[in-house]
Structure 1
Amino acid sequence: MGVFQKNICACCLCPMHCALKQFEDEEVTIFFRLPGEGQILTISSVENFVVSGISGNGNPVCVAISQIDFFEPTNPKTPADLVKPIRKSVKGECACVEDPITNKFQVGDIVNINTIGPLQVNAVGEGIVVTNFDGTQRIYSTCNNILFVDML
């Protein structure tokens, strides 16, 4: 995984970028901030905070990482390989948005994120929480995408 730069993207976009990059040439289902069904995508590249690939209906697509709520890989990875260590932010959006919600998650917790249903937390890292929902791996961005967490 890449090295984070010290900018506004460091706490949420960089971790999601690194996680998605591990799925290049693989199929994932991406869920967006707006409610609705996921979009199946075979990722061809992850560059400059944009995911490019081929949609389930065969069309080329590009998706801004900032609009991705979570994704489900067809071929899951080891949860610990998807996250970077949590670091404490001193100021900005990372300190007031991402850090506090990320710190609420502990490996093994059963939670309900955005009223989706019970999820088991398998890994937590800078800007990322890896969960299991009914046997399916889900990778969430914790910055601005998690609106509600019910600690079950």
Structure 2
Amino acid sequence: MGFFDESICDCCVCPMQSVLEQLVGIPGLVILTPISTFDSVTINQVKDSIAYTSIGQLPICKITFVSISNVGNPVDIKQPIKKSKGECACCEDPMTNLVNSMKGQIVNISFLSEGFVFTETILEVGEGIVVGRFITSAGDIDVFSTCAITRISPANQQQINDPSRVSRSQRFKII
């Protein structure tokens, strides 16, 4: 599972690298970075904090989100650990604690990627990773880098039923 607990990267890069390693060879992934959306991606290899993919090489430190369609939950994540100092203690730990308390709830998640807001059921929370299910796609699993979450709020039924809310097929602006 990467090089957890060995560098400053252990709260964001290592957990995402661990997730991506588990997705090697699975076609049709959607990967978001702070400025780009990539659709129909296959990860060929993950090595040295780089994801080698069908659309080019991506630095894992810039991957904020991965969506996996119709595969159940193929992701094994490391359980959160408490940091007492450093960047993880002030950014990742508080958000992990908050999201962990919201497991099973439907929430709106905003993160460092093109202004997207997803309405998700929180399934799992791990070290640097939040796993959710997009509420209108029972088979889709979304993985967020905890360090990239910019806002999280409980979703209410009115938001969920809003006909103007974007469906999965429309939620990504594909480049």
CA distance in 2, matches of 1:124, 1:107: 8
Tell whether the 8 Å contact from 2:103 to 2:124 is kept in structure 1 after alignment.
yes
CA distance in 2, matches of 1:47, 1:125: 21
Give me the TM-score of the superposition, normalised by structure 2.
0.75
Whose helix proportion is higher, 1 or 2?
2
Identical aligned residues as a percent: 35
What is the Cα-based RMSD across aligned positions, in Å? Answer: 1.8
CA distance in 2, matches of 1:24, 1:16: 13
Deviation at 1:107, TM superposition (A): 1.8
Give me the TM-score of the superposition, normalised by structure 1.
0.86
Judged with a 3 Å threshold, the aligned counterparts in structure 2 of structure 1 residues 117 and 24 are, in CA distance, closer, same or farther, namely closer
What are the equivalent positions in structure 2 for 1:11-30 lying under 5 Å apart? 11-27=11-27, 28-30=29-31
Mapped pair 1:150 → 2:153: yes
CA distance in 2, matches of 1:109, 1:93: 27
Q: Which segments of 5 or more consecutive residues in structure 2 lack a partner in the other structure?
A: 111-115, 156-175
User: Structure 1 residue aligned with 2:60, among 21, 44, 65?
Assistant: 65
Quick check: which has more Rg, 1 or 2? Answer: 2
Deviations 1:38-68 (A, max 9, x none): 333111101111100213xxxxx00011111
> What amino acid does structure 2 have at the position aligned with 1:32?
T
Judged with a 3 Å threshold, the aligned counterparts in structure 2 of structure 1 residues 140 and 124 are, in CA distance, closer, same or farther, namely same
Q: Which segments of 5 or more consecutive residues in structure 1 lack a partner in the other structure?
A: 56-60
Whose strand proportion is higher, 1 or 2?
1
CA distance in 2, matches of 1:151, 1:131: 13
Mapped pair 1:137 → 2:133: no
